Structure 1
């Protein structure tokens, strides 16, 4: 069993490497529209990595992660309004802000369970959504344009889509490595243990509540960074990035991609973006196609056991 698991991890790593190599080669030959699509796929993949840790690894489902995406996008937009700025500094500020927001949100919602927990994430995200809408100086409901793109250490200005895509690929590669290390670390093992039997973990003197808060924080940082990159890619940000609809799309990524492989999340991102951009050309009812795909994935024999555990009130909260 261990050998089979190790082989799967190794195969997934090879597939991920080939995907990143293919993305690097594609950057030099794609046109502007195709570069935008590729960038959107890669950003969704990055966000899904953090959500996979939360949903499949720790057993917590969130319908509020779009709030972190909007937070990252608005911080990126504010940096843009100041003119030239550094990408690393911007992402560091996004990470700190989303870590603080994520730890606060996680500390509140993880005191509930089941449907109440799900609705609590949605409620807090909607409050953040209406908060962004109320920012009249930043365009209110319409949002605002991200006029300038950052530089890297003041040496390379990411003023073209090609340069920005290369930066996104580098950040994604780092995110893939970090997510892999977390899954293989003691914290990753604790997330799995809390998901499966929180009471037993609590009997060892470890707080399941604390482990879940950390998982929530990590996923919030991944999502916030993805939101900041999305704002730079589209050169625009608005409260719609924080809507419940966007939160649903992010959960769909994990549903389609599965809870075990990183390459599966890439295929899910391709499917979601492909349906949005391809089917939408012919009909406004493209969400029906996406819904049918999600339904087929959920009804697949090897569906996500972790999602079932997360959706059913368990004993973990009592133990914490």
Structure 2
């Protein structure tokens, strides 16, 4: 299982940095993730968020590709239905070229009316359009329909789908499934069979709601305001543009009082040892190859971001490898880097 870090570039009003410095810091953290031994840096997509949620992941991926040497550069996820297939094919090919063949392209259907309206796309056709655009991007690459093409043949594709329809579609397309779920994996396997793909080609990954810390109890009250912002913005954005009333705001002190029988949700702050136990439990029996962790939650204090990146990149993989010695967490010898310093003046 490979480990990666996800950047969403949120920069909320309550603790906003100047935008140019904010993006410069993200690229510094990508470089450090590469140096530390992380397997991937990943970028995601939303539009019209007040906190500046990253709108164009391939643009930032290209910058990260130019600043790194070995780490995989991915999207988790990008919405193909908001783009012309030729545009997506060209932009993704350039990231693959700039990176020397390190692109992992995660794709999803999205769910927000305002985003689809912004690009003149039809939310009601999002699954059909997503499928059609993925197939067309593949055709353009394979037939030389755009130039230059990517280095990798094929570029690894992932489907970021959370329901049965999307899981089955990922299988039919023969791409990876970015969702760790045994019930959805059955739909994914069904899709693989329908698409004529061998069962052994199945591969699974996911964004895990985990932050690593040396002292989770001390980290929780510091992360809680940022997590409350993140969760409230997601909940409000999900109903924006619809007739559904906005849900009540979550308070910071409510975040740890989750129903133990409910979905594995919001966030867990864990030590590497506890995280490894959790991950081994939830991935048992699934062909999981990619684990993605938040690099930061909504611009949380910089020293916590730095330590999270260090622990994900350096401390967690040996623990996962020890549990599965026949399937190394990394395909190379890890190199320890110098201590990763927090940015001067980081918020605490």
Q: Same fold (TM over 0.5)?
A: no
Higher strand share: 2
Query: TM-score, length-normalised on structure 1?
Result: 0.28
Structure richer in helix, relative to its length? 1
Q: TM-score, normalised by structure 2?
A: 0.26
